[in-house]
Every structure is written in C-alpha cells, then in structure tokens.
Amino acid sequence: MKPKVAIACQGGGSQTAFTAGVFKALSENKVRDHFDIVSISGTSGGAICGFMLWYAIKRGETPICKRVLDFWNDNAAKTYQERVLNDSIIHSLYLGGKGLIPQFNLSPSSPWVKNSFSVATLGIRNEFTDLGALLASHVDARELASLGRQPEPPILVIGACNVLTGRLHKFSSYLEPVKIEHLLASACVPSIFPAVSIGDMAFWDGLFSDNPPIATLIDPRFVGPRNMPNEIWVIKINPTTADEIPVAPDDILDRHNELTGNISLFHSLRQIERINDFIITGAFNDEFLAEFDIKDPIKIPRSFPDDPDAPYHIPRIEMSVELAKSLDYESKLDRCPEHIARLIRDGEEQGRRFLESRLS
C-alpha cells in the first residue's frame, strides 16, 4: 500500500513560484505512482499553488502541474508596460526600505489609491492587476461550484484569518465547496488589498493564521478519518536562520516577515511531534489509533534543523541556500519573468532531489 501523504504549502507572495517548480518535479517524476496524496493545504500564494494542483487532480488532468505553471506564466509581467509598472513598484519599495524616499501608509480601500492605481494601470491586462480576474481566467467558476463538497481525497485546506472574530479559519473541501473567494481571502495582504468579505465575515491573509495549515491535516473533522496522512511534506518558503543581525530598515522588515511567517509553522510541527511522542510511548490504545488508520508516528519535518533525528523525521522541501540568500522582502512582490522563472527552476531542482532521497 502506498504511503498517504499530505502536502503543506507555505505562503510568500511571488516567492511561492518555487512551489510551482516543486510540483513540476513531483509530477514529472510520477509522485502518485509511489505516494497517495490525501490532502493539500496552503496559505496565500501557497494556497493558490495548492489549489491549482488539487483542481488539476480533481479534473483528471495530466500533467498535474500544468495548471499551476500556466498560472505563474500569466502572473508574471508580460508586456513592456507591465514590466515598467512592476519594476517601478519594486524599486520604490526598495528605496523606501532603505530610507532613501519617504513612505506613506495609505488604505487600499482609499478612493485616492483606487483612482491612482486605475490611471497607472491603463492599457495593462486586467489579469495582471486584479488577482480575482487572474484566478477566474484559470478556473471555471461554474465547474468549480458543480464539484460541490469533496469528501474524497485529496482534501484541500485553505488558511485565512477572520478579521472580525480574530479566529483562525480553515476552508476545507471536506466540509464545503471550494470557492475562488477562499483563495482571495487567504491571499489578502491587508496593506495591498481590502478585506475579503464572505457572507457576514471578513478575511485577511492566512499569514495571520497558519502558514501553512499543518495540524488541520491530522484533524479528522477537516479531512476525514480515512484521510489521515502517514507523512506531511512541507514546502517551505521562509528561511529559518539568518547569517547576521539585521540593522537596515529593509533588512529588519525582511527578517520580521520571515519570523512571522514561520511562527505558526513551528508551533504546529511541535504539536504533531508531541502527538508522535505519545504514539511512540504507547499513550494511545490500538483501538483509538485504528479509528484514524494510524499505525506509526506521522512523518514530518523536525521544527529546527539542529533537533535530534526521530523515527518520523523527513526533510522539508526548501529553496537552495544560494537562492534564499539572494531574496529580500521586495522579491515577495516582484513579478518580473526572470525572477519567477528562477524560482520555478530552483523548486524543480529541490523537488527532484527531495523525491529521489525519499525513494532511495
């Protein structure tokens, strides 16, 4: 019997193009011949990548990576005008982060911001300036709605934060039909987009909840008792360590963003590590574990690289050291084609290495 695997995709803006490369490697190396993907979770850009993979599997598409690669191809700046707009935004953010130009905090809901953006984007593809339009061009909303609730694997879990209640929220295909609005909610960076309203609730970026959802993947209420994974693979975007203490304003912002993005991940991994310790010591009776088809500890990445190995240790899928060190906060918003292509290539290489090591 093939091991049951859950794939958790961390968010990180444009840097999550790395995840598309990982999916390309898994697809080309026929991951489903060796593993049963029972669930996929994600936050923000990771949620969009995870959704595209889930949607492709549900539709029976081959290769399963084509849809997510097509999305990133369209998400990149294609025309001269799009390149100018993209480069201007990134350069302005860079100069502001260095303290070379003043920064202004404006609400994305402000009429002035909306009008100014409309003028600046004249003649540019709507799909480049409107995430909802981009998603709609890659997903048939009516077909998605017709899928309804999906209790069969793989289960999709999307993380978001309820702005009004302050509670973490998980949209699960096991419990409800998946909607494009769920992706928009998960990717709603509050400094860029107005809060996404669904019903009488409003949502912000899943970065404020789980980045990515991990503990939910072993919660039968969200994935079903028969979809509990034997392994959890984490596609990690934010680096864990830093070589030096940040001093410059933009370096402080970058490190703050990395640490914030990892807090919930490490907390969730610690929770599962503790559950695994209980399994190893026999704290749960066999009848209880059998209800969830659990025979051994769940294989997960250890929270920190210097932790001692455990029976359930599997390395996470991370960027190469060279690529990770070359990235900064601005690169999370950079959509220049060369940047996106570089991230995808590295994801493909790291995904291939991971799968080779896992199968060896």
Buried b (16+ CB within 10 A) or exposed e, 111-123: eeeeeeeeeebee
pLDDT tens-place string over residues 31-69: 999 999 999 999 999 999 999 999 999 999 999 999 999
On whether the CB atoms of residues 72 and 344 are closer than 8 A, the answer is: yes
pLDDT higher at 260 or 151? 151
Q: Report strand pairing: 36-43 vs 155-162.
A: parallel
pLDDT over 60 (residue 85): yes
Say whether 224 sits in a helix, a strand or coil. Answer: coil
Per-residue pLDDT at 243: 83
- The verdict on pTM exceeding 0.75 is yes
Give me the pLDDT at residue 150, please: 94
Q: Residue 354 has which token pair?
A: 């991971």
Mean pLDDT, the chain, integer: 88
341 has a pLDDT exceeding 60: yes
Kindly state the average pLDDT of the residues 320-342. 92
Residue 72 pLDDT: 97
Catalytic residues: 44, 205
Answer yes or no: is pLDDT of 306 > 70: no
At residue 49, the pLDDT reads: 98
Give CA–CA dist 171/36, Å, rounded.
22
- The one-letter code for the residue type at 137 is S
Question: In the prediction, which pLDDT does 37 show?
Answer: 97
Give residue 109's pLDDT.
64
Across 113-117, 235-239, 248-252, 322-326, least confident range: 113-117
Q: Domains for the chain: give ranges and CATH numbers.
A: 4-80+130-357 (3.40.1090.10)
Least confident of 81-85, 243-247, 306-310: 306-310
